[in-house]
Structure 1
Amino acid sequence: MTIYNLGSINADLSYALPHLVAPGETLAATDLRRGLGGKGANMSVAAARAAGRVLHIGAVGADGGWAVERMMEYGVDTRHIATVDAPTGHAIIMVDSHGENSIIIHRGANYAIPKDIVAQALSDASTGDILLLQNETLMQAEAARMAHDMGLRVIYAAAPFDAEAAREVIPHTDILVLNAIEMEQLLATTGMDLPKLGVGCVIVTEGRYGGRLHRAENGWAAERFETPKVEPVDTTGAGDTFTGYLAAGLDRGMPLQQAIRLASRAGALMVTRHGAADAIPDLKDLQDSGL
């Protein structure tokens, strides 16, 4: 089985700060780290490091060859990453002493992905494969519709939250993943409750408090799940790690709740590390951590 991921690829510039910058404030950083990021790349790397077979669909600029090579090193199939006439996407990440972050994103090549590349990539897909989506590229709705019609399982991480994108993608989604704030935004902007969304499975993450699973088959009752207790140093990429591990677990045939437990452990370990894609743990790291 294969996980197809239509997703962003960014160069991350991460600044360590004593606190997040307030309006009008100038603040000296205590550290600077450069690395691979973007929600899409993070999810692909996480799924690959969780022993999933992952094919990434995306784009970089002429300056992004290093990012493609880095993804290959982590086990991601990069045949459908195009080089386009736009700068590689990048993110400026501010991380405070408690591990909380604020992020500025420049879309760049992530919004210049060739329109025919999704169909080319999915031409080899089979019923039961997974399509993974998030909101840092274009063409999510078209890809979701195509994958749904082909019998793929569509997992949609509705982040960063975009009401219009959510309305277009959710009708073709099998599993919706979002955090508690994004869930509130979704219900407020659509005016719907869980049954009316039309998704059979909704997973809401709540950081250190774990999260909840809502399924149509269980009458939408909240099924709580926990996350291991750790001391966070950087929350960047934790949600992406959760989603990538979730997809890999399901792709490997795990029952949903078992895949969620695996993803929760990986997300917890991730917040004890600095960085994004380059810091995502693999299965051995997870085993050795004792979480």
Structure 2
Amino acid sequence: MTIWNLGSINSDHFYGVDHLPEPGETVLSETMERGLGGKGANMSVAAARAAAHVSHIGAVGPDGQWAVDRLTEYGVDTRPIAQLDTPTGHAVIALDAAGENHIIVFPGANREISRDAIGLALSEAAPGDILLMQNETNEQAYAAETGSKLGLKVAYAAAPFSAQAVRQVLPHLDILVLNHIEMAQLVEETGLLPGPKLGVDTVIVTKGAAGCVFYDRSNGFDAIGFDAIPVDAVDTTGAGDTFTGYFLAGIDRGMAPEEAIGTAIKASALMVTRRGTADVIPDLKEVLDWS
């Protein structure tokens, strides 16, 4: 089985600051690092490191071959990634001593992926494969509809949150992963809670250090809570992406959702003890050995 990820690829620029700036405030940074990022790339790396076969559908600019090479090194199939004339997406990340962040994202090539490229990639998919999407690319609605027609299990991480984007893909979704703030935004925009009216079989609401809540059609959408693992976090950037990638990899390997969530929680807890994004996502052996 394969996870097909229509996802962003960014160059992440990390700036270490004493505290996150308030509106109108200028702060100095004593450190700066560049790494591979973007919600799509993070999730692809996480799923690949969790022993899934991952094929990434995306785009970079003339300056982005290093990112494609890095994804390949991490075990991701990068053949569906196009090189365009538009610059590669990038993110500016201010990171304070407590591990909290402010992030500004320039989408770049991520928003110029063609329908032809998506259709060509998905023509190789098989029923039962997983299609994963986030909100940092274009053509999610087309991909979701196409994937659903092909018999793929369609998963969606609703970040950055957009009510319009969610409404467009909602009829085609099997799995929805979002954080508690995004869930509140979804309820405000649609009036729908996880359940039959929302129409999504599996919903996971992540709550950071408070764990997550799992809703599934199989148990009547009763809320099942999972605790997070207490750690001393140094960088929370990409923790949710790591969770999503690991969870879907577990589902792809035939794990029960509750077991997949347990592994995903452990992976994201380990990840936030490290500084960085895709480059520091732990592999499955590290996660299983970690206590």
TM-score (norm 1): 0.98
Q: What residue is the counterpart of 1:105 in the other structure? A: 105
Give the secondary-structure state (helix, strand or coil) at the position aligned to 1:79: coil
1:36 CA displacement: 0.3
Distance in 1 separating the partners of 2:187 and 2:218: 20
1:192 CA displacement: 2.1
Q: What residue is the counterpart of 1:3 in the other structure? A: 3
Amino acid at match of 1:207: G
1:228 CA displacement: 1.2
Greater than 4 Å deviation, 4+ residue runs: none
Distance in 1 separating the partners of 2:114 and 2:154: 21
1:193 CA displacement: 2.7
Contact 1:82 1:114 (8 Å CA) reproduced? no
Q: What residue is the counterpart of 1:221 in the other structure? A: 222
User: What are the residue-to-residue correspondences of 1:144-223 with 2, within 5 Å?
Assistant: 144-195=144-195, 196-223=197-224
Q: What residue is the counterpart of 1:117 in the other structure? A: 117
Amino acid at match of 2:71: M
Q: What residue is the counterpart of 2:33 in the other structure? A: 33
User: What are the residue-to-residue correspondences of 1:10-21 with 2, within 5 Å?
Assistant: 10-21=10-21
Contact 1:35 1:277 (8 Å CA) reproduced? yes
Give the secondary-structure state (helix, strand or coil) at the position aligned to 2:160: coil
Q: Percent identity?
A: 60
1:21-65: per-residue Cα shift (whole Å, max 9, x none)? 111111111211100000000000000000100000000000000
Amino acid at match of 1:193: L
User: What are the residue-to-residue correspondences of 1:68-107 with 2, within 5 Å?
Assistant: 68-107=68-107
Distance in 1 separating the partners of 2:187 and 2:178: 12
Q: What residue is the counterpart of 2:256 in the other structure? A: 255
Stretch of structure 1 that moved more, 208-217 or 272-281: 208-217
Q: What residue is the counterpart of 2:240 in the other structure? A: 239
Distance in 2 separating the partners of 1:163 and 1:52: 30
1:97 CA displacement: 1.1
Distance in 2 separating the partners of 1:200 and 1:158: 15
Distance in 1 separating the partners of 2:46 and 2:170: 23
Give the secondary-structure state (helix, strand or coil) at the position aligned to 1:117: helix
Distance in 2 separating the partners of 1:89 and 1:54: 21
Amino acid at match of 1:176: L
Q: What residue is the counterpart of 1:282 in the other structure? A: 283
Give the secondary-structure state (helix, strand or coil) at the position aligned to 1:99: coil
Distance in 2 separating the partners of 1:166 and 1:197: 11
Amino acid at match of 1:235: T
1:115 CA displacement: 2.1
Stretch of structure 1 that moved more, 219-228 or 89-98: 219-228
Q: What residue is the counterpart of 2:23 in the other structure? A: 23
1:225-280: per-residue Cα shift (whole Å, max 9, x none)? 12211110000000000000011111111111101111110011111110110011
Distance in 2 separating the partners of 1:193 and 1:202: 10
Distance in 2 separating the partners of 1:259 and 1:286: 12
1:186-233: per-residue Cα shift (whole Å, max 9, x none)? 010112232321111110011111110012232222101122111100
Contact 2:263 2:287 (8 Å CA) reproduced? no
Q: What residue is the counterpart of 2:62 in the other structure? A: 62
RMSD over aligned Cα atoms = 0.9
Give the secondary-structure state (helix, strand or coil) at the position aligned to 1:34: strand
Distance in 2 separating the partners of 1:70 and 1:216: 38
Distance in 1 separating the partners of 2:193 and 2:7: 28
Q: What residue is the counterpart of 2:48 in the other structure? A: 48
Matched, 1:140 2:117: no
TM-score (norm 2): 0.98
Amino acid at match of 2:101: N
